[in-house]
């Protein structure tokens, strides 16, 4: 991208749950952008949204909408991104895509600025992908530990917030909570299910007073798409194509902020003090780990913040090469919107004359 003056940024999917957070984040960060153009489906065109304190009209998605755009942030469904990201790239924009459409494309870098910023520069399709929100919950902390100790294996369990399933997920939990609060439900088989009726929204089971071991769609051999993606994305981002990764995804009644337990095995012995020091100084990571003082991260405190929060750092009792971690991250911020904005900023900072 040959930059002369401040580049134009397009936000595609500006009216969605993540798009809304993107606009908030763009209003909070250093103002490196010229025009910020808001793009959404034709039915949202004409709406006005505030960005950097200015009411801005939403433009309908079209080829012409990308004219003059330097960087286009996409947060739209996979099938929309699959069609429109190449269109935007053909018009000269560098696309930063949050969907799953291009993440595993060998010609598309999968970027997390704190972990693999160099990958952004090689983008033969003009597209850079951001990973899914669950991978992003842990990958910044793991990247820092991997750089020091060399990662050898991951066993991960998720505690995923309902906003990972979009606005419908949040509405479903809110509606269910209103039905179960003030009752004695949760003590007899099926009583919560009967109370919420068919109101399970995007979830296969009630999510209030419950946990649901499922996220995504069914892949082969009983695995869910989300579990496979966390494995695939972690391997690509860390540059470890054969890393063993075992994941079980579970939805919990939390609005926003994913949590993960991580059992991470390394190439060599790990000291818990050394691990804590790495985490305490790694960019984008906050160490919150003093159980004696009741200090560990929880979604209620992490929501709305930018970093990856890490607590409960322990060395495995039976394996001096393994660490146990509990990690929290806001799935709408670093988990989606913030990571994309950071990638866009990396691209905008490239020396002129490129591309």
Residues with catalytic roles: 133, 258
Member of 106, 317, 349, 353 binding a second copy (CB under 8 A): 317
Q: Collapsing DSSP states into helix, strand and coil, what is residue 293?
A: helix
DSSP 95: E
β-bridge pairing 94-97 and 127-129: parallel
Tell me how far apart the alpha carbons of residues 312 and 295 are, in angstroms, rounded to a whole number: 9
188 contact partners, CB below 8 Å, separation of at least 6: none
Check binding of 324 to a second copy (CB under 8 A).
yes
Non-local CB neighbours of 38 within 8 Å, separated by 6+ positions: 10, 11, 14, 15, 23, 49, 51, 56, 57, 58, 59
| Shortest distance in whole angstroms from residue 173 CB to a second copy | 8
Of residues 155 through 184, those in contact with a second copy by CB under 8 A are: 155, 157, 159, 174, 177-178, 180-182
Q: Which is nearer to a second copy, 104 or 252 (CB)?
A: 252
Determine the 3-state secondary structure of 200 from DSSP.
coil
Residue 303 within binding range of a second copy, rule CB under 8 A? yes
Q: Work out whether 198 is an interface residue with a second copy (CB under 8 A).
A: no
Interaction residues for a second copy, span 210-229 (CB under 8 A): 210-214, 218, 221-224
Minimum gap (Å) between residue 7 Cβ and a second copy: 31
Q: Do 93 and 72 form a contact (C-beta atoms < 8 A)?
A: yes
Shortest gap between Cβ of 120 and a second copy (angstroms)?
Answer: 28
Question: 251 among the known binding-site residues?
Answer: yes
The stretch among 62-70, 71-79, 96-104, 322-330 that binds a second copy (CB under 8 A) is 322-330
Find out whether 219 is annotated in a ligand binding site: no
Q: Is residue 256 within the footprint of a second copy (CB under 8 A)? A: yes
CB atoms within 10 A of CB 295: 12
Binding residues for substrate: 160, 251
Annotated binding site for NADP(+): 15-18, 43-44, 163-164, 331
């Amino acid at each position: 991208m040959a930059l002369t003056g401040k580049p134009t940024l397009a936000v595609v999917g500006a009216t969605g749950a993540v798009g809304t957070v993107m606009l908030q984040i763009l209003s909070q960060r250093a103002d490196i952008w010229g025009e910020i153009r808001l793009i959404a489906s034709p039915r949202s065109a004409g709406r006005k949204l505030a960005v950097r304190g200015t009411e801005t009209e939403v433009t309908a998605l079209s080829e012409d909408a990308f004219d003059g755009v330097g960087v286009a942030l996409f947060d739209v469904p996979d099938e929309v991104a699959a069609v429109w990201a190449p269109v935007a790239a053909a018009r000269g924009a560098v696309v930063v895509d949050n969907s799953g459409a291009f993440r595993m494309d060998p010609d598309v870098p999968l970027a997390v600025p704190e972990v693999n910023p160099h990958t952004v520069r090689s983008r033969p399709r003009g597209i850079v992908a951001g990973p899914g929100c669950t991978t992003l919950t842990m990958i910044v902390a793991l990247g820092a530990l991997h750089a020091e100790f060399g990662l050898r294996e991951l066993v991960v369990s998720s505690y995923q917030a309902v906003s990972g399933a979009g606005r419908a997920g949040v509405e479903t939990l809110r509606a269910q909570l209103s039905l179960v609060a003030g009752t004695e439900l949760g003590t007899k088989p099926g009583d919560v299910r009967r109370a919420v009726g068919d109101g399970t929204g995007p979830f296969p089971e009630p999510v209030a007073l419950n946990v649901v071991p499922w996220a995504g769609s069914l892949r082969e051999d009983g695995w869910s798409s989300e579990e496979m993606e966390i494995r695939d994305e972690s391997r690509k981002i860390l540059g470890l194509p054969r890393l063993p990764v075992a994941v079980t995804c579970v939805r919990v009644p939390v609005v926003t902020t994913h949590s993960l337990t991580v059992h991470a095995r390394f190439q060599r012995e790990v000291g818990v003090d050394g691990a804590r020091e790495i985490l305490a100084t790694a960019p984008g990571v906050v160490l919150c780990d003093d159980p004696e003082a009741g200090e560990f991260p929880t979604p209620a405190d992490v929501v709305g913040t930018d970093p990856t929060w890490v607590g409960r750092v322990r060395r495995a009792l039976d394996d001096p090469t393994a660490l146990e971690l509990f990690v929290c991250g806001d799935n709408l911020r670093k988990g989606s919107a913030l990571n994309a904005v950071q990638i866009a900023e990396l691209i905008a900072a490239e020396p002129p004359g490129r591309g």
